[in-house]
Chain A
Amino acid sequence: MINDAGREIPDKIEGLGFVRPFRKLADVHSEQKRNRAINKKSLKAERVPRISRNLEEAISRSGLKNRERISFHHHLRLGDRVVEQVLLQLEQMGYRDLILCVSSVMGPATEAALRAVRGGVIRRIETTGLKAPLSDALQAGEIPEPVIFRSHGGRARAIENGETPITLAFIAASEIDREGNMTGTQGINRFGSMGYSIVDAENANYVIGLTDSITSNPLLHISIPACFVDEVVELASIGNKAQIQGGSIRISRRPVEKLIARRVIQILAAAEVIKPNFSYQSGSGGISLLVTSLLKEYMMKNEIVGSFASGGVTGNLVDLMREGLFETLWDVQSFDDKAAVSLGANTSHREMSASLYANPENPGCIAHELDVMILSATEIDSDFHVNSITGTNGRILGALGGAPDTAAGAGLTIVVLPSFRGRIPTVNHRVQTVCTPGNTVDILVSERGIAVNPQREDLLQILTDNGLDILPIKELIRKVYNLTGEPDQPIAGNHIRGVVEYRDGSILDCIRS
Chain B
Amino acid sequence: MRSYLYCPGNNPKMIINSGLYGADGLIFDLEDAVAPEKKQEARILLSQVFSEQIVPVEKSAVRINGPESGLWEKDLKELIPAGVRVIRIPKVEHSNQVQEICGVIDKFESENGITPGTVVLQCILETPLGVENAFLIGDSSPRICSFSFGAEDYCNALGIRRGQDLLPLDYPRSRIASAAAAFGYSAYDTVWGFLDDETGLKADAVRAKSLGFEGKSLIHPDQIDIVNKVFSPTLEELADARNILEKAGLTDGGASRVNDRMVDRPVLLRAEKTIRMAEEYGVQAFTDDK
Which residue numbers of A lie inside 8 Å of B, CB to CB?
253, 255-256, 258-259, 447-448, 483
Are A256 and B222 in contact, CB atoms less than 8 angstroms apart?
no
Provide the bound-state CA to CA distance between A483 and B17, in Å: 11
Binary A-proximity of B188-231 (CB < 8 A = 1, otherwise 0): 00000000000000000000000000000000111000000000
Q: Which A residues touch B221, using CB under 8 A? A: 255, 258-259
Binary A-proximity of B9-46 (CB < 8 A = 1, otherwise 0): 00000001100110000000000000000000000000
Q: Which A residues touch B222, using CB under 8 A? A: 253, 255, 258
Provide the bound-state CA to CA distance between A483 and B49, in Å: 11
Secondary structure at the A interface, as helix, strand, loop or mixed, is helix
Q: Which A residues touch B17, using CB under 8 A? A: 255-256, 447
Are A448 and B54 in contact, CB atoms less than 8 angstroms apart?
no
Nearest Cβ on chain B to A503's Cβ, whole angstroms: 35
Are A483 and B20 in contact, CB atoms less than 8 angstroms apart?
no
Provide the bound-state CA to CA distance between A336 and B235, in Å: 45
Provide the bound-state CA to CA distance between A255 and B220, in Å: 8
Binary A-proximity of B155-180 (CB < 8 A = 1, otherwise 0): 00000000000000000000000000
6 contacts between A and B (CB under 8 A): A255-B221, A259-B20, A259-B21, A259-B221, A447-B20, A448-B20
Known: A255-B221, A259-B221. 16 other contacts (CB 8 A): A253-B222, A255-B17, A255-B21, A255-B220, A255-B222, A256-B17, A256-B20, A258-B221, A258-B222, A259-B20, A259-B21, A447-B17, A447-B20, A448-B20, A483-B16, A483-B54
Which residue numbers of B lie inside 8 Å of A, CB to CB?
16-17, 20-21, 54, 220-222
Nearest Cβ on chain B to A302's Cβ, whole angstroms: 12
Provide the bound-state CA to CA distance between A448 and B16, in Å: 10
Provide the bound-state CA to CA distance between A255 and B219, in Å: 12
Provide the bound-state CA to CA distance between A89 and B54, in Å: 59
Nearest Cβ on chain B to A259's Cβ, whole angstroms: 6
Residue of chain A at shortest CB distance from B224: A255
Q: Which A residues touch B20, using CB under 8 A? A: 256, 259, 447-448
Provide the bound-state CA to CA distance between A256 and B19, in Å: 11
Residue of chain A at shortest CB distance from B220: A255
Nearest Cβ on chain A to B221's Cβ, whole angstroms: 4
Residue of chain A at shortest CB distance from B195: A253
Provide the bound-state CA to CA distance between A259 and B224, in Å: 12
Q: Which A residues touch B21, using CB under 8 A? A: 255, 259
Nearest Cβ on chain B to A220's Cβ, whole angstroms: 40
Provide the bound-state CA to CA distance between A483 and B16, in Å: 8
Provide the bound-state CA to CA distance between A266 and B168, in Å: 40
Nearest Cβ on chain A to B7's Cβ, whole angstroms: 11
Q: Which A residues touch B220, using CB under 8 A? A: 255
Provide the bound-state CA to CA distance between A253 and B54, in Å: 24
Nearest Cβ on chain B to A9's Cβ, whole angstroms: 39
Nearest Cβ on chain A to B36's Cβ, whole angstroms: 27
Residue of chain A at shortest CB distance from B17: A256
Q: Which A residues touch B16, using CB under 8 A? A: 483
Nearest Cβ on chain B to A447's Cβ, whole angstroms: 5
Provide the bound-state CA to CA distance between A412 and B16, in Å: 30
Nearest Cβ on chain B to A264's Cβ, whole angstroms: 15
Provide the bound-state CA to CA distance between A186 and B20, in Å: 47
Which of the listed residues B17, B220, B222 has the most CB atoms from chain A within 10 Å of its own CB?
B17
Q: Which B residues touch A483, using CB under 8 A? A: 16, 54
